[in-house]
A and B are shown apart, each in its own frame.
Chain A
Amino acid sequence: MSRIEIFNSEGFRHDGRRFDELRNFTCTIGDHPNLDGSSSVKLGATKVSCMVVGPYNGPPRLNFSIDVTPFSTFERQARKNEKRLQELQSLLVTSFTSACATAELPGTIDVRIQVLAQDGGLVSACTNAATLALIDAGIPMKDYICACSAGIYDTTPFLDLSNAEETDLSFLTIGALGNDSDVLMLLLENKIPADHLPVVMDMALSGTQLVRQVMDDTVRYYTQQRLAKRKLTGL
C-alpha cells in the first residue's frame, strides 16, 4: 500500500480537494521595477518567478532559461535533470514563438524563470509566469497562454496534480491560447489510455479557463494601478 491514499472512497484527494478543484492560484506582476517585465506565480505550494529582458538589439527571437533552485524540492540537490529542463525550455520557446508575433519583434527577448518551490504543476506554473511577465514587458501576444495539468486516477480525471499525485498518476499539461481554448501546447510524458484521454484533456482545458480568469483579473488590476499612478504623477 502506498504511503498516502490518493483518492479515498468518499471522494477526497490526499490534500482535501475534490477531483475538479484547482489549488490556490495567485499571481503578481511587476515585482521587479528595474526589469522590462516580471511576474511571480504561486500554484499551491509551487512558486515560480519570471523575469523578462528585452527586446534588445539582436535577431528577433525568444530565449528561455529555467533555473531550478537547489532548495526548491524536498531534498537539497545539485543540478539534475538538465535534459528535462532543456526539453521544457524548447517547449516554451515553440509555444511562445507562435503566440507572440515573433517575426515582427524589434529584437531578442530573454525570459528567465526561477523555480523557487516545487510541489507539482511545474510546467503549468512556468508557462503562466512567462505569459504574465511577457505581458508586463509589453510584448504583443495573440492572447494569454494559460496552462493547467490534469491526470487520471482509475477512471476519475483529476485537475491540477500535486507532487505526490504526479509521482503516482499519469498526467498531461495543456497550454491553451485564450478564451476559445485552442490547444497550443500539450505535454504527456507517460501513458493515458486512449479512451480516457478526451476526458482528461477536457478537465485540463476547463482548468485553463479558470487560470485565465485569475490571470486576466491580475493583469487588469495592476494595469489600473499603474494608470492611477501615472495620473497622480502627471506623466
Chain B
Amino acid sequence: MPSKRKFEVSMASESATALDHVSLRSVKGKCVKIVREQYLRTDIPCRSLLCTRCNTDLSVALPGSSPMLATLSSAPPSTDSLGPHYAVPDLSALTQAMDCFESSKLFYDVIILQSVLEQLRSVSTPLYRRLKSVIAANNKRFVVFHNLFHKPSFVAKQPAETFDHYGSRCVLSAASWYAKHIPDVNIVVVSAGLIETNDSSVTVLPLSEYIPQFSGTASLLDSMLRSEPAIKKNPNNTVYFSEHFPTSKILGGVKSGQLIQGKLHISHYNSNEGHIYSSDRDDTILIIGKDNLNRAFNDDIVAVELLPQSEWKTELVTLDTVKDVDEDDSNDFLRTDSNISKKPTGKVVGIVRRNWRQYVGHIDIRSTPDILNPTFHGITNVLVTPMDRKIPKIRIRTRQAGSLVGHRILVMPDTWDTDSRYPDGHFIRDLGPMEDQDAETEAILLENDVQYQPFSQAVLDCLPKEGHEWRVPESKSDPLWNKREDLRNLQICSIDPPGCQDIDDALHARMLPNGNYECGVHIADVTHFVKPRTPMDNEAAARGTTVYLVDKRIDMLPMLLGTDLCSLKPRVERFAFSVIWELTPDAEIVSTRFTKSVIKSVNAFSYDEAQKRIDETSNSDELTKSMRMLLKLSKQLKQRRIDAGALNLASPEVSVRLENEQNDPTGVEVKELKETNSLVEEFMLLANISVAKRIYEAFPQTAMLRRHQPPPESRFEEFSKELKKLKGLKLSTKSSKAIADSLDKCIDPKDPYFNTLARIMATRCMMSAQYFASGQFDYAEFRHYGLASEIYTHFTSPIRRYADIIAHRELAAAIGYEPADSRMHKLQEEHLLSFMLVRALRVTQLSRKRG
C-alpha cells in the first residue's frame, strides 16, 4: 500500500527547543494536570519585503497550505510624526476598533501577533472571525507573526501574572524584536489601553492619537467613541437595574437547579416581555418587564431565577391586550384572569453569553431634538431605534448626528451598565436614507444575516477557465465522459416559471416496448463544478441558499455556473445527474437507476407554454406526447400521495409586479397554479424520495435527509377553537389525512379566499421541516409528515440550495461514480452543516416575508 514516497521528516528539536507547560486546572470540580509541550523555533520569518535574512519558503513543501510569503510592503504607510511604519495592534485595540482595521482608509501593513490573536479568540469569537477574514483577504497586507513559537521574542508567563499584563509583555517583546530585525521601518504598537515601554526603538501610541493621523477617518472615530467615558443622562446616579450575579454563582446555581439557563426569546408583540424554555421543567418561563429582563437582549443565553408563585402570570397572547407600551411604564400589565392556567415567571440574574450582533436602525429624533439644528456639530448622544422590534433602543455617541438623521445606520451595542436605561453602543456605518430602495434592501439583508457581498477572487478562481465558452467535450474518450451516460438523444424538456434562468431540472418520458413508461428527471450536475473544500464550496456552504428578493437575487453560486454552465438550457449540451424510473401504466415503480449523464434539452417551457402545448390536441409530436405521459403519471402519483395523507398546505406563491427595473412595486399578484406546476412538483418529489432511499442505503449514518415531524395537538388548539367560533367548522387533527380532509371542507361559500386562508393558518401551526443526518434518528422518525413520505431529501435544486449539493455528492459516492469525500465520514461536521442550513433557510423565509 505505501508508495515508498519519502518525506523529509525532521525532529522538531533540530530547529527549536522544547518547553514544557505544566499547569493545574479545575475541570468539573476535579484537579486536572495539563501538560503541553511547545516548540520555540528560530526559523519563523518576519515576512517583510525589506528583510533579506528570513527564509520565507518554509512551507513550500507543505501540501495545501499557502507559503508564508513576504507580505509587509517595503514602502509602508507613513505619517509626519511616525514616518514609515508597521503597526502592531494589541488586544485592546482590536476589541475596540475592529471597524478601523476593516476600513480601507488606514491600517495597511499590520503585524498581528499570535499571542494577540489567541487572546482575541478567547475573548470574542465574532471579532476573531472578522480579523481572520481581514487577514485572509490579503488586500491590506496583514501578517500573522507567531511570537509564541518564536524563540527570540517569546516570553514565559509569570506565575501570578494577569491576562492583560502578559499580553502586553508579549506584544512589547515581539515589537522590540521587529524593531531590531528591520531597522529601516518604525514599529508602532497601537493600543487602546495602557502600555509602557522603556525600549526606545518601539513607539507606543494610543488608538485615539493614531487614527486621526490619517485623512478621512472622522467617521471611524465615531466607532471609537465608546472608549471615552460616556456622558450619562443621569447625573444623580440612579440605578435602574440590579447587578448580575458573578459567573461562579451563575454556574453553581444552574448546576444545582436553582437557576434556569436558556435562550431568551423576546415576544414579537412586546419588547418588554420574553420567555425562555427550560428542558428540565419542560415548560416556558415568562420574563415580564424591563426590570426582570435586566438588560438581556433577544437571543442571549441567560440565567433566570424563578419568582414566587404569587407573581406567576398568564401569557400575553391575544392581540387586543397589546398596547403600545411606553418605555417607562413597563410593569403595569394586569393579568388577573384566573381562568387560564398561570405560567411561572422569572427574573434574569445573569447573562451567560451575549449574542450581540450589528443592528440596523435609525436615530430617534425625539431623543435629542437639538441635533436638527444645522449649526450643531459637537459630539452628542443619540438613541437609535433598531429595525428589529425585539431589540431595545441603543445609545450611541456621534459627531455626525445631524447628517445621520433619517438614515438607516448600522450600530453595535457594547455595554449596558446598571445605571443606564439604554445599552451603550457605537456607530459603524451609514447605509443611506430611509425608504431608499438600496438602503432598505441592504438593511433587510444585514438584519437577516444574508451574505450579499460579491464573490471573492478566490471563489471566482474556482470557475472553469473557459468561462461561458465551456462545452461538453466532443470526444467520448475525454476523461470527463468517464462513467457518464449519453442521453442526448432523449426528448428532454424543462418546465419552469417564466423568465427562469437557473434551470435546475428537466424531464423526459417515453414508452417502453413492454408497455411500461420510462421517466427521467435530470438535475443540473453542480457538483461537477463545485468540488468539496474549494473556496467556492465553502462559500456556497456558508450562504446555504440563494435568496430571492423582489428586485434582485443573491446567488449561492457565481452567475457563470448558476445561469449558464450548470443551468440545463435548451439546445445546449449540459452535464446532468439523472434519475430514471421504469413505471407501470399505474405509476408503480418497477425499477430506479441513477447515473451521471450528458443531456441536450429540446426546449425550455414556462408553465403556461407547457400547459398550452399539452392542451392543444392537434399537437402530436414526440415531445408533446411525452409531456402528456408525464402529466398522466403525475396525476396518479399525486392521487396516491393525497390518499396517503399528504397535505396541500402550500401557501400561495405571490409575485410582485414591477413597472420596470428601477420603479417601485405597483402591486402583488397571486400566482396561478397550473397542472404543469404539479407535474414538475410530483416528479421532483419522486426523485427526492428515490435518492433519499438510495443514499440512506449507502450511508446509514451520514445520509443527508430531511424530515418533518407531526405537529403536536396543542398547536392546533387555538386555530380550531377560532374556526369553531367563527365559522362553526370542525378541524380534525388525528392524522395528516384527517387534517387534509377537514381542510378541504373548510369552505365559506361567500368568501372564496377563506379556504386558502385556512390552509395558511394550518401551515403556521405545523412544525418546520429539518435537515438531519440519518444516524441522528431511528428510521421511524425519518417521516416527512407534510408529504406523507417515509423518507425524503433535497436533491433537485443544487443551484440554489447547498443541501442538494451534499445529496448529489452522497449519491455520486453511492453509485460508485467518485469516491466519498472524507468529510462525509465526519458525522459531526454534517450535523453542524445541517444546523447551518436550517438557519440559512430560515433566513431566506424571513427575508422573503419582509422583502
Residues of A within 8 A of B (CB): 1, 8-12, 15-25, 44-45, 74-76, 117, 119, 154-157, 159, 162, 164, 183, 191, 193-199, 201-203, 205-207, 209-210, 214
Contact = CB atoms under 8 A, between A and B. Distances in A.
A44 B17 CA distance: 11
A197 B1 contact: yes
B850 interface: no
B389 interface: no
7 contacts: A21-B10, A76-B31, A155-B63, A193-B825, A199-B5, A203-B9, A214-B11
Nearest to A152: B822
A31 B34 CA distance: 28
B517 to A, nearest CB: 40
Interface string B131-160: 010011000000010101100000000000
Contacts of B39: 15-17, 21, 23
For B38, B39, B144, B820, the residue with the greatest tally of chain A CB atoms inside 10 Å of its CB is: B39
Contact of B7 (A1, A20, A214): A20
Contacts of B268: none
A168 to B, nearest CB: 11
B2 A20 contact: no
A117 B18 contact: no
List the 10 shortest-distance A-B pairs measured between CB atoms, nearest first: A16-B149, A16-B39, A206-B7, A193-B822, A21-B12, A11-B59, A201-B2, A11-B65, A206-B9, A24-B13
A207 B32 CA distance: 31
Given A18-B59, A45-B20, 7 more contacts: A11-B58, A16-B16, A20-B61, A45-B36, A75-B33, A155-B64, A157-B7
Contacts of A197: 1
B9 A17 contact: no
Contacts of A155: 63-64
A146 B659 CA distance: 78
Contacts of A12: 146, 149
Given A15-B36, A156-B62, A156-B64, A20 B18 contact: no
A162 B37 CA distance: 9
A44 B11 CA distance: 10
A197 B5 CA distance: 12
A156 B146 CA distance: 20
B661 interface: no
Contacts of B33: 74-75
B35 A202 contact: no
B8 interface: yes
A119 B146 CA distance: 23
Contacts of A45: 20, 35-37
B112 to A, nearest CB: 11
A202 B3 contact: yes
B35 A119 contact: yes
B65 A16 contact: no
For B34, B64, B68, B136, the residue with the greatest tally of chain A CB atoms inside 10 Å of its CB is: B64
Given A1-B125, A203-B7, A210-B9, A16 B148 contact: yes
A61 B135 CA distance: 60
A24 B62 CA distance: 21
A54 B62 CA distance: 47
A202 B64 contact: no
A196 B822 contact: yes
A interface secondary structure, majority: loop
Interface in B56-86: 58-59, 61-66, 68
A8 B149 CA distance: 12
Contacts of B148: 16
B553 interface: no
B4 interface: yes
A208 B7 CA distance: 11
For B4, B9, B18, B20, the residue with the greatest tally of chain A CB atoms inside 10 Å of its CB is: B9
Contact of A156 (B6, B11, B65): B65
B533 interface: yes
A23 B144 CA distance: 24
A76 B33 CA distance: 9
Given A155-B63, A156-B65, A24 B35 contact: no
Given A1-B125, A154-B533, A193-B822, A18 B62 contact: yes
Contacts of B822: 154, 193, 196
A19 B10 CA distance: 10
Contact of A202 (B4, B18, B34, B135): B4
Contacts of B1: 197-198, 201
B126 to A, nearest CB: 11
A183 B2 contact: yes
A9 B117 CA distance: 12
A203 B149 CA distance: 24
Nearest to A71: B33
Contact of B18 (A44, A74, A154, A159): A44
Contact of B819 (A8, A119, A194, A198): A194
Contacts of A18: 12, 58-59, 62
A45 B22 CA distance: 10
B64 A21 contact: no
Given A10-B59, A44-B18, A75-B32, A205 B2 contact: yes
B41 interface: yes
Contact of B9 (A16, A159, A193): A159
A25 B11 CA distance: 8
Contacts of B41: 16
Nearest to B20: A45
A195 B33 CA distance: 38
A155 B64 CA distance: 7
A16 B38 contact: yes
Contacts of B8: 20, 206
Contacts of B62: 11, 18-19, 156
A25 B39 CA distance: 13
A16 B7 contact: no
B288 interface: no
B293 interface: no
Contacts of B58: 11, 18
Interface string B478-508: 0000000000000000000000000000000
Nearest to B40: A16
Contacts of B533: 154
B407 to A, nearest CB: 35
A56 B825 CA distance: 50
A154 B64 contact: yes
Given A9-B66, A16-B16, A16-B40, A21 B3 contact: no
